[in-house]
């Protein structure tokens, strides 16, 4: 019996990523891939390319774009649709889902004269509520992992065809992508990969389904040499075409000419690794331990049906910085509408998935991706508000606490009563840059690798190469030293109460004595015309709790925030009040603090002014207070996993303004942003 091979690749890069990254992807992956495939036009395969990336390919490599166009015209390629800017469809509003898919459909029709009926499910994040919307956009079938089906109780040996599902009577075809093939192609030798394909031969219409990241063909570590220099792809395609027991086809052709295997109702799930990544670190480690305890064979046979991680939306729980971006996007989508204009384009760019989550790649941990997201967000706000100004409040992050947004021609400022009445967004409207776009240092499950690294380097199997999930990493003491975890979010106007031992080192390592309960607790709030007041009746905890009240008021002007703070305590003794700020910048090499170039960390003894000079954006951030203070600061760095191993990224500068006090603190000051 013949086996039909449905072979598809997915191409995407974060919107407005560094151009050198796009060039690298083209050079090491897309260009050589289509160069090989152009030599074998009878090999039929499917392609999904995000709309933005196809624009960049046409702009940067017209010859590659022409190769893709020729393959499409010759009938080699079937194009799949998705959201134009590659959003996770289940986390954007219904109207935006339909519009984003229709926008990519229109682009494919205009460029390649095809009407797509298949949909690439971004990050394979599935919710059945998607069906009516994607069907409305003309989609008849989509692809997801066989893991999705196994989570619903299906056995692997029946996943050799498509299934039908429905939502409210609207039908959709579902194709299960084979894990066996994902881990074989292109990582194992050609003969092994061919045998894996031919194992799908249960019935006459059995199909082997593979639809995976194109970046595995040259961009992942070690794959360029394996796939192109050692000619894996060329030998693989030739072997497929020469084998009389395998035929290649398009998904649409198979869907039209074969009946479904049955019906399927699938849970809200993505691929297994995504479920791990969306869990908090300790839960992800516990999940891995349970899987190890179960054993590989038992897990593959039955455990896969029952042992699962979290859902994709858990990233909004795990990372408040991601949730903040997502809820701001929802606010914009629901509050303002401009069909087909600049607002809609920037909103759809903001919906790009990459900056909202983190797994084996940088994602949320990459400052430039978050900067891009905030640029789109601020561009939307600029269109929405124009020259209007005012103070607005809402509850749009679903925690029940009020958020305050003050809009003036030069700035957009947001405060959050849930997190200590703190500054959570400081937007320079002209530069479309958020100076508060920091990231908190937190524990990740893969940090365990820094302490459990093998003493001997792993050896490579001659029959293939490692996938990115199993590649070895080099460990350094610099990385281990960077494992510092914050117990509060790195916002600004954070209130700490400590003792005389507070210093530059314990500030950096976040192990100073915190005697108050103001840094990560909610405040009561009230609003006047141009001001917001936050108040908390808390305590100082030394021996017993001593009643302590802290009240702070922020008054907003065109490019300045005036503030006053009053703290009174019944605690006896000498204490230290710290007002912490965390500011994010584009280029830290072009930064000066109080006249000196930025250091790794530094203490400035006594001053009334903090002055940060941002030479890159030509801005000066000044904080003046009517009482003298000491400054401690350090570069806020996170350690994250990447394609190459581990990366240290500067997420901001953490700054402590230190004041000594006994029973009261009275401060008046201003935060100002000015042109240099």
User: What confidence category does residue 471 fall into, taking pLDDT thresholds of 50, 70 and 90?
Assistant: low
Yes or no: say if 570 and 546 are a contact pair by the CB < 8 Å rule.
yes
For the chain, percent of residues with pLDDT exceeding 70: 96
User: What confidence category does residue 457 fall into, taking pLDDT thresholds of 50, 70 and 90?
Assistant: very low
For the chain, percent of residues with pLDDT exceeding 90: 86
User: What confidence category does residue 458 fall into, taking pLDDT thresholds of 50, 70 and 90?
Assistant: very low
For 570-618, strand residue ranges (E) read: 575-583, 591-593, 596-597, 601-614
List own/partner pairs for 191-198 with CB under 8 A and 24 or more apart.
191/239, 192/463, 192/464, 193/236, 194/236, 194/239, 194/240, 194/243, 194/246, 197/3, 197/5, 197/240, 197/246, 198/3, 198/243, 198/245, 198/246
Question: How large is the average pLDDT for residues 128-141?
Answer: 98
One-character DSSP codes across 458-523? PPPPTTB---TTS------HHHHHT----SS---BSEEEEE-TT--HHHHHTT-S---BS-SSS--
Model pLDDT, residue 455: 47
Instruction: Give me the chain's average pLDDT, please.
Output: 94
- What does the pLDDT look like over 316-344, one tens digit per residue? 999 999 999 999 999 999 988 777 789 99
User: By CB neighbour count within 10 A (0-12 exposed, 13-18 middle, 19+ buried), where does 39 fall?
Assistant: exposed
Q: How far apart are CA 31 and CA 228, in angstroms?
A: 11
- What does the pLDDT look like over 394-440, one tens digit per residue? 777 888 899 999 999 899 999 999 989 999 999 999 999 999 999 99
- What does the pLDDT look like over 205-249, one tens digit per residue? 889 999 999 999 999 989 999 999 999 999 999 999 999 999 999
Model pLDDT, residue 475: 66
Q: Which of 195-204, 400-409, 493-502 has the highest mean pLDDT?
A: 493-502
Q: How far apart are CA 446 and CA 641, in angstroms?
A: 7
As given in the structure block, the two tokens for residue 432 are 């479309």
- Other beta carbons within 10 Å of 259: 9
Ordered by where they begin, the domains of the chain are: 3-275 (3.20.110.20), 460-676 (2.70.98.10)
Q: In 3D, which of 360, 330, 328 has the Cα closest to residue 645? A: 360
Total count of residues recorded for the chain: 676
Pairing of strands 531-541, 403-407: unpaired
Specify the DSSP class assigned to residue 271: -
Residues with Cβ within 8 Å of 628's Cβ and at least 6 positions away in sequence, in order, are 606, 607, 608
* Euclidean distance between the first and the last CA atom of the chain, given in angstroms as a whole number: 74
Q: Would you name the residues annotated as active-site residues?
A: 123, 213
Model pLDDT, residue 169: 97
User: What confidence category does residue 393 fall into, taking pLDDT thresholds of 50, 70 and 90?
Assistant: confident
Q: How far is CA 508 from CA 365, 486, 600, 636, in A?
A: 19, 10, 10, 8
Q: How far apart are CA 436 and CA 413, in angstroms?
A: 10
């Amino acid at each position: 019996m013949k086996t039909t091979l449905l072979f598809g690749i997915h191409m995407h890069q974060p919107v407005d990523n560094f151009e050198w990254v796009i060039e690298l992807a083209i050079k090491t992956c897309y260009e050589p891939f289509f160069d090989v495939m152009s030599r074998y036009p009878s090999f039929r395969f499917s392609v999904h390319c995000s709309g933005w990336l196809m624009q960049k390919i046409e702009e940067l490599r017209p010859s590659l774009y022409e190769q893709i166009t020729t393959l499409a015209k010759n009938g080699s390629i079937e194009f799949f649709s998705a959201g134009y800017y590659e959003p996770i469809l289940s986390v954007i509003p219904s109207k935006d889902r339909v519009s984003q898919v229709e926008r990519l459909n229109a682009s494919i029709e205009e460029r390649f004269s095809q009407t797509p009926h298949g949909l690439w499910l971004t990050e394979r994040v599935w919710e059945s509520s998607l069906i009516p919307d994607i069907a409305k956009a003309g989609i008849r079938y989509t692809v997801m992992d066989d893991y999705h089906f196994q989570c619903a109780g299906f056995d692997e040996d029946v996943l050799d065809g498509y299934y039908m599902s429905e939502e409210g009577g609207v039908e959709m075809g579902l194709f299960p992508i084979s894990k066996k093939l994902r881990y074989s192609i292109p990582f194992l030798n050609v003969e092994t990969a061919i045998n894996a394909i031919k194992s799908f031969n249960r019935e006459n219409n059995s199909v082997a389904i593979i639809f995976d990241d194109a970046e595995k063909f040259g961009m992942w570590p070690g794959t360029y040499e394996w796939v192109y220099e050692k000619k894996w792809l060329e030998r693989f395609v030739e072997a497929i075409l020469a084998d009389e027991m395998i035929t290649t086809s398009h998904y649409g052709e198979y869907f039209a000419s074969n009946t479904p295997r049955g019906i399927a109702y699938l849970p809200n799930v993505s691929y297994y690794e995504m479920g791990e990544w969306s869990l908090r670190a300790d839960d992800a480690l516990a999940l891995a331990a349970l899987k190890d305890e179960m054993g590989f064979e038992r897990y593959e046979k039955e455990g896969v049906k029952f042992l699962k991680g979290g859902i994709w939306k858990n990233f909004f729980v795990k990372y408040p910085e991601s949730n903040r971006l997502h809820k701001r996007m929802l606010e914009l989508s629901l509050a303002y509408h401009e069909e087909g204009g600049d607002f809609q384009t920037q909103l759809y760019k903001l919906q790009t998935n990459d900056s909202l989550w983190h797994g084996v790649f940088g994602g949320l941990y990459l400052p430039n991706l978050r900067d891009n997201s905030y640029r789109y967000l601020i561009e939307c706000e600029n269109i929405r508000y124009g020259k209007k100004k005012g103070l607005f409040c809402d509850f749009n992050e679903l925690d029940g606490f009020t958020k305050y947004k003050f809009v003036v021609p030069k700035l957009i400022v947001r405060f959050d009563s849930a997190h200590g009445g703190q500054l959570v967004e400081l937007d320079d409207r002209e530069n479309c840059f958020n100076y508060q776009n920091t990231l908190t240092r937190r524990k990740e499950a893969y940090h365990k690798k820094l302490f459990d690294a093998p003493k001997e380097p792993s050896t490579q199997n001659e029959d293939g190469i490692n996938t990115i999930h199993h590649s070895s990493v080099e460990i350094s003491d610099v990385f281990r030293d960077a494992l510092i975890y914050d117990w509060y979010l790195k916002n600004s106007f954070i209130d700490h109460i400590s003792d005389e031992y507070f210093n530059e080192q314990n500030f950096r390592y976040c192990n100073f004595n915190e005697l108050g309960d103001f840094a990560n607790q909610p405040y009561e709030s009230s609003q006047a015309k141009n001001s917001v007041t936050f108040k908390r009746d808390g305590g100082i905890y030394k021996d017993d709790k001593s009643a302590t009240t802290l009240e702070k008021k922020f008054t907003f002007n065109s490019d300045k925030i005036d503030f006053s703070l009053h703290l009174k305590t019944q605690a006896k003794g000498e204490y230290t009040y710290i007002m912490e700020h965390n500011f994010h910048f584009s280029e830290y090499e072009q930064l000066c603090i109080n006249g000196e170039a930025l250091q790794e960390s530094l203490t400035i003894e006594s001053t009334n002014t903090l002055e940060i000079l941002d030479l890159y954006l030509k801005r000066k951030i000044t904080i003046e207070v009517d009482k003298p203070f000491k400054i401690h600061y350090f570069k806020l760095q996170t350690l994250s996993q990447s394609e190459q191993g581990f990366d240290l990224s500067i997420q901001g500068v953490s700054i402590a303004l230190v004041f000594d006090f006994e029973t009261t603190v009275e401060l008046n000051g201003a935060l100002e942003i000015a042109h240099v």
